[in-house]
């Protein structure tokens, strides 16, 4: 059935039922909820900790193309990019509002699949979907707002402006996989099935580092960002906010083995500039990093250090200390192409 | 200068400066703010009252056409429709996140004008703009999320599901003006200059009934909604949520004089079904309504009553009690046109 046949109210009713079916009363978000979908606003009992809010969207033909993604992955990723922002503050996500725009000719089943993807990820992190908005539009747009709080054990934040000269620069997990996945999907590159699965998942189902963000706060890390634009671009954001420089060594980058194996010399480029890995990039003193490494369930790799050098400049060097020039430094929305 | 020449980061910087220039430290929203635009999320000190959140968008060629609106009014209205939802809960708006999509060819000055409109209204109600998102897109889309709290004097909500048989149905202000304004603008109708100004403002600069929403809660009103889809459609939402019926009398509708004067026999139709008036529609016992009337700074008009009759049915009658048939009952996004 098409969305235009079901109608707006029918669609909202269907989605509201689906969301209510995913209610999890063991989670604080649902326990505190007074009104979810269906009134003028959502309402919940506030608490006096620090509150967080972020909004980010996936737009057809800007961020994705329908021929290389499943509807369910689309929903997952639209929520994941927002949860990643909460993770990068050391916060816990609590509530999500989903603003959905689509053509009337969209199959209702496709919309339900988007919501299945959103709900699947929301359940993993105890997030309650509490409202939203549906509109007709020529292209699909999923804009999600996520509201969260600081964690229960430490009421501090990971901010961009807290990096200090002498800090080590480190990342969680592996780099380059999402960009490699996008290239594989758009260029129909043929790899072995394991590589295909890993790269596909990296691009379409990134796992927000919520637990790792909490862990960083608990061990005293103060500066962090999530890697969405690209390693170098996002490190620049930290440098600008903190009024420092940074130096990273290409040879230390934790490039995903499947990327190294299949993209050869271009692997480091994907890791430096590809973006969308949604790993956490953070800075802290060497002792704090050692503690983090010991506590982390995922790889944590030191890739360079914060310098007092030229403001906001990120220098990339190879194993011999030779300057590496960068072909591209991340995502720029309004660039004429 | 075009947005594509300035670039995404340049645009964000410009908008962040503009928003910071509008900071008002006498307002609680700004006082409690820890981080606004510029980090992974916004952050603020929470409080333990009831929290509210809503999201709504204005999309080019769906909700507006650029040939009949100024950029500044567009910004105003995009925020107003969200503040109206907070008003309809009896809440106070606190924070706004602005997700903006536009073509690279948009003039930067136009984007600044959108923000001027948003900021102008935000300042009126002490709302802090704390973040957002900018994206390239073929058509303009302004999606705003507003977070609020219950008022300081009464921690109750106005909900859709609290209407009871015997309640009077009442509205704030006047009806039909927004729909009349839209028709005037799209059909280039020529009225006297005063009517033009009033109808234009009604459509493009609706004033959210925040103070009135607070006042309703304080006087014990329990059920309300804002009129966005249209009087009959929105009353149906209340009836569905409350499992009641309603009966309204056409002759009692507070149709705006400028609409009555210029639209003749169609005036009542615009008032019943036009939508976008953003007045509050509420139900309560006759004694409560009397108190509200005495306390209100704006007109408050009883237009009918809640019945125990057929579930969710809204009956419209004329002065002689004769049934009036309705040509259209509000906005339906996915309808094939």
| Whether residue A55 sits in one domain with residue A100 | yes
User: Residue A247 falls within a domain, yes or no?
Assistant: yes
Q: What is the pLDDT of residue A337?
A: 37
Average pLDDT score over residue span B152-181? 92
Q: Which residues in chain A have their CB less than 8 angstroms from residue B61's CB?
A: 138
Whether residue B330 is predicted with pLDDT greater than 70 in this model: the reply is no
Whether residue B121 is predicted with pLDDT greater than 90 in this model: the reply is yes
Beta-bridge partners for B220: none
Average pLDDT score over residue span B110-116? 93
* A3 Cα distance to chain centroid: 29
Q: What is the pLDDT of residue A154?
A: 63
Q: What is the pLDDT of residue B22?
A: 84
**Pair A169, A281: CB distance under 8 Å:** yes
Q: Which residues in chain A have their CB less than 8 angstroms from residue B135's CB?
A: 57, 59, 62-63, 333
Domain total in chain A: 2
Of B50, B158, B224, the CB nearest to A34: B50
User: Residue A264 falls within a domain, yes or no?
Assistant: yes
Distance between CA atoms of residues A64 and B233, nearest Å: 36
User: Residue A322 falls within a domain, yes or no?
Assistant: no
Which of A116, A150, A184 corresponds to the end of one domain? A150
User: Residue B62 falls within a domain, yes or no?
Assistant: yes
| Whether residue B189 sits in one domain with residue B132 | no
Classify burial at A320, counting beta carbons within 10 Å of its beta carbon; exposed 0-12, middle 13-18, buried 19 or more: exposed
Whether residue B56 is predicted with pLDDT greater than 90 in this model: the reply is yes
- HSE-up of residue A245 (Cα within 13 Å, Cβ side): 10
Q: What is the pLDDT of residue A94?
A: 92
CATH number of the domain where residue B272 is located = 3.90.650.10
**C-alpha closest to that of A330 among A196, A229, A210:** A229
- Determine the residue among B312, B333, B336 to mutate to test chain A binding: the one whose Cβ has the most chain A Cβ atoms within 10 Å: B333
> How far does A307 lie from chain B, in Å, by closest CA?
21
Whether residue A286 is predicted with pLDDT greater than 80 in this model: the reply is yes
Our CA angle for B115, B120, B126, nearest 5°, is 110
Average pLDDT score over residue span A278-303? 97
| Whether residue A211 sits in one domain with residue A108 | no
Whether residue B43 is predicted with pLDDT greater than 90 in this model: the reply is no
Q: What stretches of chain B adopt beta strand conformation (E)?
A: 33-35, 42-45, 50-59, 91-102, 128-136, 141-150, 168-172, 223-226, 245-249, 280-284, 300-307, 314-317
Whether residue B80 is predicted with pLDDT greater than 90 in this model: the reply is yes
Distance between CA atoms of residues B298 and B293, nearest Å: 9
Q: Which residues in chain A have their CB less than 8 angstroms from residue B78's CB?
A: none
- HSE-up of residue B263 (Cα within 13 Å, Cβ side): 27
Whether residue B336 is predicted with pLDDT greater than 50 in this model: the reply is no
Cα Rg of chain B (Å, integer)? 20
Contact B41 A47 (CB under 8 A): no
| Whether residue A189 sits in one domain with residue A74 | no
Q: Which residues in chain B have their CB less than 8 angstroms from residue A334's CB?
A: 3-4, 6-8, 11, 104, 136
Classify burial at B4, counting beta carbons within 10 Å of its beta carbon; exposed 0-12, middle 13-18, buried 19 or more: buried
Of A8, A39, A148, the CB nearest to B159: A39
Our CA angle for A88, A63, B15, nearest 5°, is 65
**Pair A38, A139: CB distance under 8 Å:** no
Beta-bridge partners for B305: B168, B247
**φ and ψ at residue A148, rounded to 5 degrees:** -140, -175
- Please name the helix (run of DSSP H) or strand (run of DSSP E) that holds residue A306, with its range, or none: strand A300-307
**Pair A297, A280: CB distance under 8 Å:** no
Q: What is the pLDDT of residue B152?
A: 63
Q: What is the pLDDT of residue A336?
A: 43
User: Residue A328 falls within a domain, yes or no?
Assistant: no
Of A89, A99, A134, the CB nearest to B41: A89
Q: What is the pLDDT of residue A329?
A: 52
Contact B88 A40 (CB under 8 A): yes
Q: Which residues in chain A have their CB less than 8 angstroms from residue B39's CB?
A: 89, 159-161, 241
Whether residue B145 is predicted with pLDDT greater than 50 in this model: the reply is yes
Percent of chain A with pLDDT over 90: 71
Which of B150, B173, B207 corresponds to the end of one domain? B150
Q: Which residues contact A111 (CB under 8 A, 6 or more apart)?
A: A3, A11, A15, A71, A100, A102
Distance between CA atoms of residues A315 and A317, nearest Å: 7
Task: For residue A76, give the 3-state DSSP assignment.
Answer: helix
Q: Which residues in chain A have their CB less than 8 angstroms from residue B134's CB?
A: 333
Q: How confident is the model at residue B11 (pLDDT cuts 50, 70, 90)?
A: confident
Closest residue of A to B11, CA-based? A334
Closest residue of A to B9, CA-based? A332
pLDDT in tens, A105-125: 999 999 999 999 999 999 999
Q: What is the pLDDT of residue B337?
A: 36
Beta-bridge partners for A315: A247
pLDDT in tens, A18-64: 888 888 888 888 888 888 888 888 888 888 889 999 999 999 998 89
| Whether residue A287 sits in one domain with residue A169 | yes
User: Residue B47 falls within a domain, yes or no?
Assistant: yes
**C-alpha closest to that of A292 among A218, A227, A235, A232:** A218
Q: Which strands form B223-226's sheet, in the order they lie side by side?
A: B223-226, B280-284, B168-172, B300-307, B245-249, B314-317
| Whether residue A74 sits in one domain with residue A53 | yes
Return the number of other C-beta atoms located less than 10 Å from residue B112's C-beta: 18
Distance between CA atoms of residues A124 and A27, nearest Å: 11
**Pair B183, B260: CB distance under 8 Å:** no
| Whether residue A143 sits in one domain with residue A39 | yes
Percent of chain A with pLDDT over 70: 96
Interface contacts (A, B; CB < 8 Å): 227
Q: How far is CA A270 from CA A296, B9, B96, B230, in A?
A: 25, 22, 35, 52
pLDDT in tens, B268-321: 999 999 899 999 999 999 999 999 999 999 999 999 999 997 678 999 999 899
What is the average pLDDT score of chain B? 91
ipTM of this complex prediction, to 2 decimal places: 0.90
| Whether residue B284 sits in one domain with residue B195 | yes
> How far does B264 lie from chain A, in Å, by closest CA?
32
Our CA angle for B228, B233, B234, nearest 5°, is 55
| Whether residue A179 sits in one domain with residue A131 | no
Which of B150, B185, B210 corresponds to the end of one domain? B150
User: Structural domain of residue A243, as residue ranges?
Assistant: 160-317
Pairing verdict, β B245-249 and B314-317: parallel
Of A52, A104, A335, the CB nearest to B4: A335
Whether residue B260 is predicted with pLDDT greater than 90 in this model: the reply is yes
| Whether residue A302 sits in one domain with residue A195 | yes
Return the number of other C-beta atoms located less than 10 Å from residue A279's C-beta: 30
CATH number of the domain where residue A36 is located = 3.30.1330.10
pLDDT in tens, A302-337: 999 999 976 789 999 998 999 988 765 554 555 543
| Whether residue B304 sits in one domain with residue B184 | yes
Contact B47 A50 (CB under 8 A): no
Give, as one character, the DSSP assignment of residue B175.
B
Distance between CA atoms of residues A114 and A135, nearest Å: 15
Q: Which residues in chain A have their CB less than 8 angstroms from residue B145's CB?
A: 53, 55, 97, 145
User: Residue A252 falls within a domain, yes or no?
Assistant: yes
User: Residue A72 falls within a domain, yes or no?
Assistant: yes
| Whether residue A139 sits in one domain with residue A178 | no
pLDDT in tens, A182-196: 999 999 999 999 999
Q: Which residues in chain B have their CB less than 8 angstroms from residue A61's CB?
A: 138
Q: What is the pLDDT of residue B283?
A: 98
Classify burial at A188, counting beta carbons within 10 Å of its beta carbon; exposed 0-12, middle 13-18, buried 19 or more: exposed
Of A8, A54, A143, the CB nearest to B334: A8
Q: What is the pLDDT of residue A315?
A: 94
């Amino acid at each position: 059935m098409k969305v235009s046949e079901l109608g707006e109210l029918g669609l909202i009713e269907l989605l509201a039922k689906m969301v209510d079916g995913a209610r999890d009363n063991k989670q604080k978000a649902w326990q505190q909820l007074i009104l979810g979908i269906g009134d003028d606003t959502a309402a919940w009992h506030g608490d006096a900790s620090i509150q967080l809010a972020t909004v980010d969207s996936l737009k057809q033909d800007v961020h994705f193309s329908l021929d290389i993604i499943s509807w369910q992955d689309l929903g997952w990723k639209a929520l994941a990019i927002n949860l990643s922002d909460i993770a990068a503050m050391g916060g816990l996500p609590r509530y999500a509002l989903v603003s959905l725009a689509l053509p009337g000719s969209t199959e209702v089943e496709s919309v339900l699949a988007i919501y299945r993807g959103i709900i699947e990820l929301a359940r993993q992190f105890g997030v309650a979907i509490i409202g939203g908005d549906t509109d007709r539009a020529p292209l699909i747009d999923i804009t999600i707002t996520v509201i969260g709080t600081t964690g229960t054990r430490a009421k501090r934040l990971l901010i961009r402006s807290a990096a200090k000269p002498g800090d080590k620069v480190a990342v969680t997990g592996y780099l380059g996989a999402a960009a490699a996945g996008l290239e594989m999907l758009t260029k129909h590159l043929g790899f072995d099935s394991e590589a295909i699965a890993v790269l596909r998942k990296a691009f379409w189902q990134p796992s927000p580092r919520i637990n790792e963000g909490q862990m960083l706060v608990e061990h005293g890390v103060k500066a962090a960002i999530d890697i969405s634009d690209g390693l170098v671009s996002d490190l620049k954001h930290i440098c600008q906010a903190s009024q420092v420089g940074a130096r990273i060594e290409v040879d230390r980058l934790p490039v995903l083995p499947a990327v190294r194996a299949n993209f050869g010399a271009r692997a480091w480029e994907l890791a430096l500039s590809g973006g969308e890995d949604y790993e956490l990039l953070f800075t802290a003193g060497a002792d704090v990093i050692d503690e983090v490494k010991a506590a982390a369930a995922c790889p944590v790799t030191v890739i360079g250090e914060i310098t007092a050098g030229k403001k906001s400049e990120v220098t990339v060097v190879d194993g011999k200390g030779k300057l590496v020039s960068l072909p591209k430094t991340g995502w720029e929305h309004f660039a004429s192409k």
